[in-house]
Structure 1
């Protein structure tokens, strides 16, 4: 579970509700079924018009992805490439064939296996680069298209809230014969706007941005894999390869080490 996503939503929603209550409001006054139906039903309906049914069926999976913790493997990948480079220099590129179906390989993105297969097969370096760059681009584009579904919903939600408020005010103005009920009725009408703006800024848009951030991190990971594979193909020195790959990650990420191992540990273990 990604605590940042869960706590972010809880803190955001909780802060809005708590602020309302300490100002004298009641929780019950924030619950309006008709407003919820207009805003959430209208938002989902408008989004369905914009996208295909196939895209909409992805929503539960994408929401689950946003709440699932995803670790970065940049340091581990770099260490693994240092080991592969050392092995290739001492035993030849064909020795890497043993790694294709290894347990270590299964820990990383499947694109790593494809790249190593190209290297072992002696594919032309331009062929590897073009093929993998295209694959990286297509998969990143698909991930960002998924994120745009949430951004679209985040754009529709506030408008649906305004529609709900206008509908509520129309109902209020059509019953001016009871002045004592005007205040509560107008307040209830504005609940729809609250739902629309809150859902957009506390759920739809943040989830969309989370998915985009993950797509960007995944692209960086795959670029490290591609660059490492190209370096293997040309027989680059392991130390130079490591320095090159570390340019893809930030200084803080360079200091992180999820396994608690030094850069040479993987190579030593394999040996």
Structure 2
């Protein structure tokens, strides 16, 4: 679980509610069931209309992407690829079949399996690039659902406020109730704007950020798989892949897993 997403949402809500209470407001003034029904019910309905059921079924997966933690760091993947480069140079690419089949990353497993099967390097690259494009589109589709919710929510809040004001204007014979009634009416706008900017849009941005991380890992793996297939030296593989990380020390790190004494051809 990625705590930054949860902490961010909680911190945003605390900041808004805390500021309201600090100014002398009462928490009961923020709890309006009718406003919540209009804003969140209307937003949910608008999202349902905007996307087919096949896309809406992916919402739980999208939430796992936003709230989940990055499973594999680029440094770990580089070490795995360097290790595979060592095996390929010593024993040939066929020796990679067992180690690749046990790897937790399905993209790396598939790529190395194609290498073991003797697939042409150009074809390997084309297939894996198509998978990268599909993954990028998948995350984009996830983010669009929450972006649309972030667009609809403020509008639904305005609709709720207008509906509340219509009710207020219909009760002008009770002037003492105008102030509280108007305050209740504007609660809908608060719900819409706050949910859009603290929940929906930030979640969409987090999904995009996670997608960028995954794409970067896949591009790193693609480069490493092709390097292993070409029989490149493990040290060169490390230096090449180090450009995908912010840790430039990787390119100067001694060869791991028994490759320290190997010399460059």
| TM-score where L is the length of structure 2 | 0.92
Q: Is the CA contact (8 Å cut-off) linking 1:118 and 1:128 kept in structure 2? A: yes
Q: Is the CA contact (8 Å cut-off) linking 2:235 and 2:255 kept in structure 1? A: no
Q: CA deviation at 1:264?
A: 3.9
1:211 aligned onto 2:169: no
| Aligned match for 1:226, one of 215, 222, 225 | 222
Q: Is the CA contact (8 Å cut-off) linking 1:79 and 1:263 kept in structure 2? A: no
Query: Would the alpha carbon gap of residues 31 and 267 (structure 1) be closer, same or farther in structure 2, given more than 3 Å must change?
Result: farther
Q: Is the CA contact (8 Å cut-off) linking 1:158 and 1:200 kept in structure 2? A: yes
When the two chains are superposed, the root-mean-square deviation of aligned CA atoms in Å is 1.6
Between the aligned partners of 1:14 and 1:162, the Cα distance in structure 2 is 23
Counterpart position of 1:81 = 81
Q: Is the CA contact (8 Å cut-off) linking 2:234 and 2:255 kept in structure 1? A: no
Query: Would the alpha carbon gap of residues 134 and 163 (structure 1) be closer, same or farther in structure 2, given more than 3 Å must change?
Result: same
Alignment map for 1:179-258 (pairs within 5 Å): 179-251=175-247
Deviation string, structure 1 residues 232-256 (Cα, Å, up to 9, x no partner): 11111111111111111223xx569
Where do 5+ consecutive residues of structure 2 fail to align?
260-265
Q: Is the CA contact (8 Å cut-off) linking 1:79 and 1:264 kept in structure 2? A: no
Q: Is the CA contact (8 Å cut-off) linking 1:153 and 1:200 kept in structure 2? A: yes
Query: Would the alpha carbon gap of residues 167 and 263 (structure 1) be closer, same or farther in structure 2, given more than 3 Å must change?
Result: farther
Q: CA deviation at 1:38?
A: 0.4
| Aligned match for 2:173, one of 177, 199, 209 | 177
Counterpart position of 2:48 = 48
Counterpart position of 2:263 = none
1:112 aligned onto 2:114: no
Between the aligned partners of 1:241 and 1:69, the Cα distance in structure 2 is 27
Counterpart position of 2:262 = none
Q: Is the CA contact (8 Å cut-off) linking 1:115 and 1:128 kept in structure 2? A: yes
Between the aligned partners of 2:33 and 2:258, the Cα distance in structure 1 is 61
Q: Is the CA contact (8 Å cut-off) linking 1:80 and 1:266 kept in structure 2? A: no
Secondary structure at 2:9's aligned position in 1?
A: helix
Alignment map for 1:34-73 (pairs within 5 Å): 34-73=34-73
Counterpart position of 2:138 = 142
Which contiguous aligned blocks of 4+ residues in structure 1 show a shift greater than 6 angstroms? none
Query: Would the alpha carbon gap of residues 34 and 266 (structure 1) be closer, same or farther in structure 2, given more than 3 Å must change?
Result: farther
Between the aligned partners of 2:7 and 2:91, the Cα distance in structure 1 is 50
Query: Would the alpha carbon gap of residues 263 and 175 (structure 1) be closer, same or farther in structure 2, given more than 3 Å must change?
Result: farther
- How many pairs were matched up? 257
Secondary structure at 1:182's aligned position in 2?
A: helix
Counterpart position of 2:163 = 167
Q: CA deviation at 1:61?
A: 3.4
Between the aligned partners of 1:17 and 1:255, the Cα distance in structure 2 is 45
